Every structure is written in structure tokens, then in C-alpha cells.
Amino acid sequence: MEIILERKAKRHLRNAFLVLVIVIIISIIPAVKWGWVEVLYYLAGIVMPFITLASVYLILANFKLQQRMLQLQKEEIQNTQVEVKRQNKTISKQRFDNTFFKLIDQLGKNYTSVIDLESNHFKNVQNKLKEEVVKGFENKKMEDSKNEPKAVVKIIYNACLDTELKYLGLGLGNAYSYFLQSLKLLMYSQMFLNKEEVIYYFDFILIELSDDVLSLILYRIIYDDEKSVIEFLDSNNLVSKINSGQAPIDFNQSRSIWNYIVQNAGNLDPYSLGKFI
């Protein structure tokens, strides 16, 4: 591109020179019978305006060429920036893939090790949690419909609390830790992952776990009041993927309860704020 611009500059200069030569030749023709002094004065009067015009022409041509060169440099810088961003995204994506799938592998191994020791472990924990939720509904007089989601969240919290007396951490062990690490890595990688890619990677997590484990994890997230995780699940419509119809409360059918959880994430513990007392 610089070679093309250089050729254009030379062409403008050549054109200006040719015009000047033609003007001089034409100007000399009527003055062939004059003396040299008269001819020189005559040429000075005739040629100088054309020299001035040629100078202006060259200045304008040079200005346009400089503008074009600056534009090309700007485009080149922009293209370089785009390429650098693309390379950085590729590198970040590779790092993400390596870390993410290592966590997924650990998650799967941990889940398998628990199942190998007790095949119905997670199912038993979920049944216990469901039992405590049912007790909560039976023992607590529900408030009016306006406050129902708030009361249900307290029932969920108490059910998790009572289940923990028998199954610490809702019996999830390290599976919950690996799940949370994988999910948070996915959250922090949204700067180079679009929504479709987030869902794509999230499905890899789901493949490793059964429905009862996913249900327990969702309740543990609510119980631990993981604000950023709750908001991430909601904004990417991922709750329906981990919420089982066999869970104590089906949030797909009870959207008002889930919406309340999202709106109050970070302040869900009923006892720390005295909301329900």
C-alpha cells in the first residue's frame, strides 16, 4: 500500500511539471521576436501564477496522501488490535478448557467414589431433605399468599439445617466443592464465552452427576446463600437443568419462590436478619 501511495505522489509531481513545461512553451511562442530580457519578464509574469497553482496543487495532493497514509496506519493498528484480542481469547480459552475439564474429571471421580461405597447415598440424602421439607409445611402455618415465598425459603433453610444433623453438607462432600469451582470458573470466563458456550460447558457438568445430586447441590447453594451463583444460574436459565421434578420443591413449577430467592440472594438466612421471627 505504501508503494501505491508513493507512485501516486510521483504521478502528481510529474503532472504538475508537465503542466508547467506546457505553459512555458505556449508562453514563449508569441515572444520569439523579443529580446531575452523582455522574454524573461514576460515569462515571469505568465509562469509565476501557474507555478503558484502547481505548488498549491502539490500541497493539496500531499495533504490527501498523508491523510490516506494516516487512515491506513489507523486501520493497520485496529487490525493488529483485533488480532491480539483474538489470540488472547484463544489462549484464555485454552487455559479455561484445561482447568475446567480437570475439575470436571475430579467431580466425576468423586461422585463415582461415593456411589461405589454406597449406591443409594445421594438418594437417601434427598429423601431425608424431602422429608424435612414436608415436615416444615405440616408444622408451619403458611402466611398469606403475599408472603408465601418468604415462608417457603425458611422451610427450605430449616430442612437443610435438620438434614445436616445426619448428613453434613447435605452429604455432598467434595462433589459440591468441585461443582462450585467448575461453575465459578464458568462465571468468570463469560468475558470470552457467549451464552450458548456457557450452556454448552455447563452440560458437561450435568453429565457427571445424577438428578438427585444436582437437586441437593441446588438446595445447598440456596442454603449457603451463594449470591453470585444464584444470579448466574438465573441469568443463564440454568435452574431448570439442575432442578429435578423429584426434588422437594420443583422451582420450575414454583417460579415465584425462585424469583424471591434471586431477588433476595445474599440475605436469605432467615435467622441472621430476623426476617421470619
pLDDT digits (tens, 9 = 90+) for 123-144: 999 999 999 998 888 876 554 4
Same domain, residue pair 149 and 239: yes
- Judge whether 179 and 217 are in contact, CB under 8 Å: yes
Please report whether residue 160 resides in a domain. Answer: yes
Please report whether residue 103 resides in a domain. Answer: no
Same domain, residue pair 264 and 127: yes
Alpha-carbon gap, residue 223 to 257, rounded angstroms: 14
- Where does a domain end: 60, 84, 108? 84
- What range does the domain containing 135 cover? 118-273
Same domain, residue pair 63 and 137: no
Please report whether residue 108 resides in a domain. Answer: no
pLDDT at position 32, please?
A: 54
pLDDT at position 46, please?
A: 61
Alpha-carbon gap, residue 272 to 274, rounded angstroms: 6
pLDDT at position 147, please?
A: 53
Same domain, residue pair 140 and 259: yes
pLDDT at position 22, please?
A: 64
- Judge whether 216 and 129 are in contact, CB under 8 Å: yes
- Where does a domain end: 30, 64, 84? 84
Q: What pTM was estimated for this model as a whole?
A: 0.69
pLDDT at position 204, please?
A: 92
* Residue 156 burial (C-beta neighbours within 10 Å; 0-12, 13-18, 19+): buried
Alpha-carbon gap, residue 256 to 37, rounded angstroms: 103
Please report whether residue 212 resides in a domain. Answer: yes
Same domain, residue pair 144 and 231: yes
- Judge whether 265 and 234 are in contact, CB under 8 Å: no
Same domain, residue pair 246 and 182: yes
- Please give the tally of structural domains in the chain: 2
Cα–Cα nearest to 252, from 267, 261, 240: 240
Same domain, residue pair 77 and 178: no
Please report whether residue 104 resides in a domain. Answer: no
Please report whether residue 96 resides in a domain. Answer: no
pLDDT at position 203, please?
A: 92
Same domain, residue pair 176 and 241: yes
Residues of the chain with pLDDT under 50: 2, 5, 143-146, 273-277
Please report whether residue 261 resides in a domain. Answer: yes
Same domain, residue pair 80 and 132: no
Same domain, residue pair 253 and 132: yes
Same domain, residue pair 141 and 214: yes
Same domain, residue pair 71 and 160: no
Please report whether residue 163 resides in a domain. Answer: yes
